Amino acid sequence: MELTQITPFVPCTALHAQIGFYRDVLGFSVGYQAEGYAFLRRDKVALRLVQVSDDVDLQNPERQGSFYIDVKALDALYASLKPALDTLPAGRVRAPFNQPYGQREFHVIDEDCTLIFFGEALGR
């Protein structure tokens, strides 16, 4: 098993403007874009832009954050973590499952409510 990269989710209120900034100013390329979502990459760095409502205060420190960690051998990683995950309160772990966008994932909420996504492309 191997962790391969971290891909944070970055909330934004103006998706197209944010895509333009990352693409035109920072040199990222758009790998995938859909309604309210874009995946951008530059070299080995990637991020996921997520549109939020205009009335969301992105400066509010109480707002939950999240990030995504791409891994190899996701099920083996989950199995190795399961004894410790089983000690967490109910609702803090979502076991591995397949997403319609071609990823197998499991989710964990940390002590400060940050949602951590672990994912691996299906068919590896």
Give the separation between CA 13 and CA 16, rounded to whole angstroms.
9
Residue 50's contacts (CB-CB under 8 Å, 6 or more residues apart) are 9, 10, 11, 12, 36, 37
Q: How many domains does the chain contain in total?
A: 1
Give the pLDDT band of residue 1 (cuts 50, 70, 90): confident
Give percent of the chain with pLDDT exceeding 90. 40
- Looking at every residue in the chain, the average pLDDT score rounds to 86
Distances (CA, A) of 114 to 15, 30, 79, 121: 22, 26, 21, 22
In tens, the pLDDT along 29-43 reads: 999 999 999 999 978
Give the model confidence (pLDDT) of 57-98 as tens digits: 665 666 677 778 788 999 999 998 899 899 988 988 999 999
pTM of the model: 0.66
Q: Is the pLDDT of residue 117 over 60?
A: yes
CATH of the domain at 56: 3.10.180.10
Q: Which domain holds residue 77?
A: 2-121
The mean per-residue pLDDT over the stretch 47-52 comes to 89
